[in-house]
Chains A and B, each alone.
Chain A
Amino acid sequence: MTDQPTNEPNPGLSSSGMSDTGIAHLEGPLVSTGPVEPEPPSRWRVAMNEIMGGSIMISILSIVLAMVAGAILIAVTDKTVQATAGYFFAKPGDMLNAVWLAVSGAYSSLFQGSVYNFRREGFLNGIKPFMDTLNFATPLIMAGLGIGLGFRVGLFNIGGRGQMLIAIAIAGWIGFALDLPAGIHMIVAVIGGLIGGALWGGIVGLLKAKTGAHEVITTIMLNFVAFYLVSFLLRTPGALQAPGSNNPKSPPMKDTVVFPPLFGERYSVNLGLVFAIIAVIIVWWILERSSLGFKFKAVGYNPNAARVAGINVGAMFIWSMVISGALVGLAGVSQILGTVTTGFSSGIDAGIGFDAITVALLGRSKPWGIFWAAILFGAFKAGGYAMQAAQGIPIDIVLVVQSMIVLFIAAPPLVRAVFHLPTPGVFRKRTKIEAV
């Protein structure tokens, strides 16, 4: 497993969550200005425009475009394609065939490594890759929810790594040092992790609310603080270091604390997935149905108006970061209690805190969107290894595809231009709409 943060956050991404409405706003008033009230466009056309120009379609098309870009990269780097390109004008068929073989081989092994492997016997064996996908997706769902919740309040939480590490330190210590009955032990560890993440996120919210310190700076700095703090504890006997060892690594988790597998020992999927789904539902409730979420969103869209409307903006920053940190912390907990139960080192976060940013962007910061985006990224992770093993295609291609997806999502007008989609809120002439 690579420990490197795979998708370095790009400052340019920060506005992407909202940028897709830019054009609509420009044109909007012309369409729906008050005194001029022509017959409103029919429901169907409104719905059509929303879907065609809207966010879900953009997300899906971004994935398609990124896969195309990935295919080009696979073809260009393939040895056979390079060799056949030399005599392309003599026998173009050779090269086209090589391109086809390379690309289809890569993507089919990606599919077989992440969804269903036809070469294995029986459904139960064939579905194993999908279970791996779900396992990889579990922490991404949790952390993605945390980052996405931050986005909705207008906060860019890059501190996923730090929040995960602190949560891991606390939950991990509870996991190997305490003796508690099964079940209770696990719940205590999970709660400990939630508190750890919430604390580390809450510091950021508190600093922003009280001093105006920008969360991007403070979260990055707290990443370093957490990393070196946990590294130090892992090297300190009596703290997190395994007794009798010189390695900066913790003892393994006790059996009473480990997440039990969901569908038998055969698969890697564990109770963490259930926690992830519960988290999705809770975050959905917070954002869509609770007064807290209402205030979060008001602050995220327009902090000035929120303040004038009597909403305590500082308190919203603090609470959102507490919840965001807790969710990211939960991802850390699921890493050590679900995936790597044999003890952890300081690279345990595996870049999930950064991948979560990408997941939150792809999921448009909506809870179920994040859920599906995380599954997609889980599939890329699971399938990437299979692709590397089967076809010798470097796993970096998968990282390129992941990054391209976010790049396209960050530029909706580009995607619309490629597919000739209408801009939401702007209605073309009837004839053209029907032609689409």
Chain B
Amino acid sequence: MKLELRGITKRFGSLVANDNINLTVNPGEIHCLLGENGAGKSTLMNVLYGLYHAEEGEILLDDVVQDFAGPGDAMAAGIGMVHQHFMLIPVFTVAENVMLGHEETTFGGRLNMTATRKTVRELSDRFGFDLDPDALVEDLPVGVQQRVEIIKALSKNAQVLVFDEPTAVLTPQETDELMLIMKQLRDAGTAIVFITHKLREVREVADRITVIRLGKVVGEAEPTATNEELASLMVGRAVDLMIDKGPADPGAPALVVKDLSVIDHVGQMVVNRVSFEVRAGEILAIAGVQGNGQTELTEAIMGLQQHVTGEISLDGKPLNRLSVNKVLNSGVGFVPEDRNVDGLVGDFTVAENLMLDRSDGEPFVKFGNLQLGYLATFAEEKVEQFDIRAQGIRTLVGRLSGGNQQKVVLARELSRELRLFVAAQPTRGLDVGSIEFVHTQIVAARDAGVAVIVVSTELDEVAALADRVAVMYRGGIIGIVPGDTSRDVLGLMMAGEHHDSRGAVA
């Protein structure tokens, strides 16, 4: 089925989210929609899916004008959508989730599970998904849950499939598998719209690329275009993907971790006798597939984990068994993995979030009183310095885009006197422009003589930042290698293969 969008314009008040957008997707083609966060990609797809009604323009399927009043109409017309956040019911089985919304019943209103199971099996076999229709969705890994979403769409005979930022939640391996699935679907004649801001993925699967910026189509690109070309098209200016990073000038060991183990709340050993050190003025990247103990390791350093054994010391002073507050006060900055859950209070203003971890004493508090005047001056200054785009310092942080939220976290953490800076997934979900900014700030912290730990699952990020790389696998450090180690070697280590230079300090 051929999908065509003609002159779509969607406004929210004075904001034009989509401005006269034209887009054609042919059957058997993967069409990439590339753009920064907030460029209007998701709005466009919500128009296509009937969630929004466009002020101008029309949607055509096989040259027939469509009028969608809601997602139901869009689905019936053959459009399927795989959302970034899965629309699955965790306690239902795969088959139950697939049939949800168009349940087939037999006599007496009983659900026809047999037929649905058969559909799931057929589709699953056709694309090599290896899905058990009776498995509970909550027991499945994220990557497999996504396949359930895909099957859900296909079971409704979707001819046009929209993937909205599908790789944001996936590990590198799962991403690769998804790419394969998309290619299979394409070869089977499905028209695919792939929304993303990750350049590597675009170049890997796209047949055609349309770049959107500020609600407008700013150009089409070939999959052969370089990362730099695509990035500058997206951002509207030249972007340095490899930031300028001089050689590290490491000083004395700052953070020393010895035999650290962490047992989580269900009694599992999630970090297993880990030892390493980070010197002042160097960046140690901790690479690894999500869920191999990196999160717990950083939380243990911050004092956020309950059952920790081993030793952690910063500049010779022990850090373990201190409260979070004391850890922060001994000069540790922390960018948590999930900024919305752990890093920011969405209902607080920008200014309030900038003092979140300094609510105990001067300069923000005197004799129990908040120093609102000082806070305002401080916040204005940081908003300026970190280029936080908000209407003002009284804007609620929950209303900002991901990139600006992360800038608030960075501004807060980097405005203290630091000895150690721990950044967990500092650029997750951010667009190219913001990634560049975050990376520059991290390198600046290093150059100022701070010991830096960056936890990342993205090899690009590891390569861009690391002076040394520690790879974690199943709770242990499988090896510490120099920052310029090749992707292949790192990939193997992330999969658990020991490297020759295991344990060697670069």
- Out of A21, A31, A39, A310, which one reaches B328, CB within 8 Å? A310
Q: Is A86 an interface residue (CB 8 A)?
A: no
Let me know if B172 is at the binding interface, CB within 8 A: no
Between A and B, 26 residue pairs with Cβ closer than 8 Å are A30-B12, A32-B390, A33-B38, A34-B38, A35-B36, A36-B40, A37-B389, A39-B14, A40-B391, A290-B369, A291-B365, A298-B345, A301-B347, A302-B344, A304-B341, A307-B304, A307-B342, A308-B342, A309-B324, A310-B323, A310-B327, A310-B357, A310-B360, A312-B323, A427-B12, A429-B11
Given contacts A31-B15, A39-B14, A312-B325, contact A294 B346 (CB under 8 A): no
Q: Which residues of B contact A425 (CB under 8 A)?
A: 399
Interface residues on B, range: 35 or more
Q: How far is the CA of A305 from the CA of B409 in the complex (A)?
A: 11
Interface presence of A238 (CB below 8 A) = no
Cβ of B12 and Cβ of A31 under 8 Å apart? yes
B370–A290 touching, CB < 8 Å:
yes
User: With a CB–CB cut-off of 8 A, which chain A residues contact B401?
Assistant: 29, 32-35
State in angstroms the CA–CA spacing of A145 and B171 once bound together. Answer: 49
Most chain A CB within 10 A, of B16, B343, B372, is at B343
Chain A residues with CB under 8 Å of chain B are: 21, 25, 27-41, 289-292, 294-295, 297-298, 301-302, 304-312, 425-430
Output the least CB separation between A209 and chain B (Å): 14
Lowest 8 CB-CB distances: which A-B pairs, in order? A33-B38, A427-B13, A34-B401, A310-B325, A309-B357, A291-B365, A310-B324, A309-B356
For window 1-38 of chain B, which residues contact chain A by CB distance below 8 Å?
11-17, 36-38
Q: Say whether B345 contacts A289, CB under 8 Å.
A: no
Q: Kindly identify which residue among A32, A292, A430 contacts B399, using a CB–CB cutoff of 8 Å.
A: A32
How far, in whole Å, are A339 and B13 apart by their CA atoms in the complex? 55
Is B302 in contact with chain A by the CB < 8 A criterion? yes
Neighbour of B13 across the interface among A41, A297, A312, CB < 8 A: A41
**Known contacts A291-B360, A291-B370, A294-B352; is-contact A308 B14 (Cβ 8 Å):** no
List the A side residues contacting B17 at CB < 8 Å: 30, 36
Provide the residues of chain A in CB contact with B345, threshold 8 Å: 297-298, 301-302, 305-306
Most B CB within 10 A of own CB, among A28, A31, A32, A41: A32
Report the minimal beta-carbon distance from A295 to chain B, rounded to whole angstroms.
6
B404 within 8 A of A: yes
- Is B267 part of the contact surface with A, judged by Cβ < 8 Å? no
Given contacts A298-B345, A301-B348, contact A308 B302 (CB under 8 A): yes
CB distance from A308 to the nearest CB of B (A): 4
Interface centre among B215, B343, B345, B395 (most CB of A within 10 A): B345
* A-chain residues with CB within 8 Å of residue B342 when the two chains form the complex: 304-305, 307-308
Contact A38 B370 (CB under 8 A): no
Q: Kindly state the separation between the CA atoms of A37 and B36 in the bound complex, as whole angstroms.
A: 13
Residues from chain A with a CB closer than 8 A to the CB of B101 are none
Whether A289 pairs with B346 at a CB distance below 8 angstroms is: no
From B302, B356, B400, residue with most partner A Cβ within 10 Å: B356
Interface residue ranges of B333-390 to A (CB < 8 Å): 334, 336, 341-348, 352, 355-357, 359-360, 364-365, 368-370, 372, 389-390
* Chain B residue, CB-CB nearest to A31: B12
A408 to B39, CA, bound (A): 38
Q: Which of B443-462 contact A (CB under 8 A)?
A: none
With an 8 A cutoff between CB atoms, is B43 at the interface?
yes
Which residue of the partner chain B has the closest CB to A425?
Answer: B399
Report chain A residues within 8 Å CB of B328.
309-310
B398 touches A25 (CB 8 A): yes
Q: A294-B352, A310-B324 are in contact. Are A301 and B357 (CB under 8 A)?
A: no
A298–B14 CB distance below 8 A:
no
CA distance A38 to B37 in the complex (A): 15
Determine which residue in B36, B342, B365 has the highest number of CB atoms from chain A within 10 A of its CB, and name it.
Answer: B342
How far does the Cβ of A219 sit from chain B's closest Cβ, in whole Å? 25
Q: Does B403 contact A (CB under 8 A)?
A: yes
Specify the chain A residue showing the minimal Cβ separation from B360: A291
Report the separation of the CA atoms of residues A31 and B36 in the bound assembly, to the nearest whole angstrom. Answer: 15
The answer to whether A35 touches B38 (Cβ under 8 A) is yes
Q: How far is the CA of A324 from the CA of B13 in the complex (A)?
A: 43
Give the chain A neighbours of B433 by CB distance below 8 A: 35
Contacts of A306 in B (CB 8 A): 345, 356
Q: Which residues of A contact B400 (CB under 8 A)?
A: 32, 34
A41–B13 Cα gap in the complex (Å)? Answer: 9
User: Contacts A292-B368, A308-B304: A298 and B359 contacting too (C-beta < 8 A)?
Assistant: yes
* CB proximity of A327 to chain B, nearest CB, Å: 18
Question: Are B357 and A429 in contact, with the CB atoms below 8 A?
Answer: no
Query: What is the bound-complex CA distance between A173 and B117, given in angstroms?
Result: 72
CB contacts (< 8 Å) of A305 on chain B: these are 341-345, 356
Q: Which residues of B contact A292 (CB under 8 A)?
A: 368
Q: Is the CB of A302 within 8 A of B346?
A: yes
A427 and B357 in contact (CB under 8 A), knowing A301-B347, A305-B345? no
Tell me the complex Cα distance, A342–B68, Å.
Answer: 71
Chain A residues with CB under 8 A of B296 = none
B329: chain A residues at CB < 8 Å are 310
What sequence of 0s and 1s flags, for each residue 390-433 of chain B, a beta carbon within 8 Å of any chain A beta carbon? 11000100111101100000000000000000000000000101
In-complex Cβ contact of B37 among A31, A35, A41, A289 (8 A): A35
Residues of chain A contacted by B360 (CB below 8 angstroms): 291, 310
